Structure 1
Amino acid sequence: MTEINNQLIIRQIDTGDYETIWHAMQDFTDNRDDEVVDELWVVEHDPVFTQGQAGKEEHLLNTGDIPVVKVDRGGQVTYHGPGQLVVYLLLNLRRRKLGVRDLVTQIEVAIVDLLKQYSIDAYAKKDAPGVYVDEMKIASLGLRVRKGCSFHGLALNIDMDLAPFLRINPCGYSGLEMLQTSKINGPKTVAEAADGLTQILAASLHATDVTTLIGLETK
């Protein structure tokens, strides 16, 4: 199994429809076996609020014309939209002998390391998953593990309209201020951030054989 753990596919998704990608992640996870190579899916979503398994209706303040999707990841409520980098981690944790808490830490460290390249002092919090800069949240995390395999992942704010976050209590915290990399001399585009972050994630997964693919087809 060591050799297959060295392989990784980075898939650039060419549709932003949240539900299409979510159901594709479920199908990928349900149908995979120990011979399937792990993948990172890179996407920018169309505007959508997602409500995790712990998400409470009271944290959806005024969603307006933006759809709300109840999903099977951990965590509370958040917003996805254009200008935000989303990376989904479809990993066989059992094969990698990787615990969920270890994966969360690995993701947070990868984001912190990316921002460090831009001289941004970012950090994680033990009691509130995600990555922060000066007490403002710049990246959110939410995972699901099924059959020993992970899906869902991270969202890093790059250059987006942050106003929709005011329509919710982000991650269940009233008044939590959101931040994005383009405003603090970090990555200016999703593509720039995606290139840097997927390289760091691949290295942290000890992937030496990395393939980049375009599109959602997984077969």
Structure 2
Amino acid sequence: MVTALLDTQVSYLGLRDYTDTWHEMRKLTTQRCPDSPDQVWIVQHPSVYTLGQSGKEEHILNPGDIPVIHSDRGGLVTWHGPGQIIAYPLLDLRRWGISVRELVHALEQAVISLLAIHEVASHRREGAPGVYVDGAKIAALGVRVKNGRCYHGVALNVSNDLEPFSRINPCGMKDMPTTRLYDHGVTPSLDRAEVELGIHLLAALEREAKH
């Protein structure tokens, strides 16, 4: 696990098309060999709705001119857009010695730890993966694992427009309120928030691997 942590490459990719990024993640995951280094990509996407493998069209209420992409990640429906930062861990879970459940726990814990640094209390919700502040969703997640290797990840609302969430049932949940870091008096630059998310994700993965 120590080698996996030290060898993990964190890349900050800026604003990237969702479909292009997804296809690149899938290609990397499919073609990697046992000694390929693990990676974490930190990105933002132009405005887009994504339907996970369990997603249903009826959860998209009024997409308007926002594209809808059918993705191979886990989960239901969510929105991505500028001002929301996303961490995509591209890991060999066997190298880390962690399960899918522990991966999900680490993704949630990365956000919880980041928010705690800014004195924002947050929590998990039983049966509804993600991170919540006062009952409102601030981070959504969905992953895919193939042959012990994962891609997709966790999306944290920082300064993005929340209006697009009103046009869907976020993660399939009717009338689910959403929130963002800026709504709680925390206004870090997006560059700083991206670095913090990467740091807290690696720390959370390390803790899970030590269990």
Query: Which range, TM-score by smaller chain?
Result: over 0.9
In the alignment, does 2:138 pair up with 1:151? Answer: no
CA contact (8 A) 2:129 2:141 kept: yes
1:14 positional shift: 4.0
Q: Which has the higher mean CA deviation after the structures are superposed, 71-80 or 119-128? A: 119-128
Alignment of 1:58-69 (within 5 A): 58-69=58-69
Q: CA deviation at 1:126?
A: 2.2
**Which residue number corresponds to residue 85 of structure 2?**
85
TM-score with structure 1 setting the length: 0.90
Letter in 1 for 2:143: L
User: Using the alignment, how far apart are the partners of 2:154 and 2:134 within structure 1?
Assistant: 20
CA distance in 2: counterparts of 1:17 and 1:109, whole angstroms: 27
Q: Which has the higher contact order (CA 8 A, sep 6+)?
A: 1
- The CA deviation string for residues 63-98 of structure 1, in whole angstroms up to 9 with x for no partner, is 010000000000000000000001101010012111
2:44 maps to 1:37:
no
Q: Which residue of 1 is the match for residue 53 of structure 2?
A: 53
Deviation of the 1:197 alpha carbon: 1.5
RMSD across aligned C-alpha pairs, in angstroms? 1.5
Q: Whole-Å Cα distance in 2 between the matches of residues 129 and 4 of structure 1?
A: 26
Q: Is the 8 A contact 1:85 1:156 kept in 2?
A: yes
CA distance in 2, matches of 1:13, 1:206: 23
Which deviations, in whole Å up to 9, do the C-alpha atoms of 1:26-49 show, x marking residues without a partner? 000000111111111011100000
How many matched pairs? 207
Report what 1:210 is aligned to: none
**Where does the alignment leave 5 or more consecutive residues of structure 2 unmatched?**
none
Asked if structure 1 preserves the Cα contact closer than 8 Å seen for 2:90 and 2:149, the reply is: yes
Distance in 2 separating the partners of 1:2 and 1:155:
26
- 3-state SS, counterpart of residue 124 of structure 2: strand
Q: Look up the SS of the partner of 2:63 in the other structure.
A: coil
100-109 vs 1-10, greater mean Cα deviation: 1-10
Q: Is the 8 A contact 2:84 2:157 kept in 1?
A: yes
Alpha-carbon deviation of 1:110? 1.4
Moved more, 109-118 or 179-188: 179-188
Map of 1:28 onto structure 2 = 28
Query: Is residue 159–residue 182 contact of structure 2 (8 Å, CA) maintained in 1?
Result: yes
Please list every run of 5 or more consecutive structure 1 residues that lacks an aligned counterpart in the other structure.
208-219
C-alpha contact 2:38 2:92 (8 A) present in aligned 1: yes
Amino acid at match of 1:96: W
Instruction: Write the distance in 2 (CA, Å) between the matches of 1:33 and 1:4.
Output: 14
Between Structure 1 and Structure 2, the one with more strand by share is: 1
Superposed CA deviations along residues 92-119 of structure 1, whole A, max 9, x for unmatched, are 0012111000011111111111101111
Distance of 1:50 and 1:184 partners within structure 2? 26
User: Which residue identity does 2:123 align to in structure 1?
Assistant: Y
Q: Percent identity?
A: 43
Give 1:71's aligned residue.
71
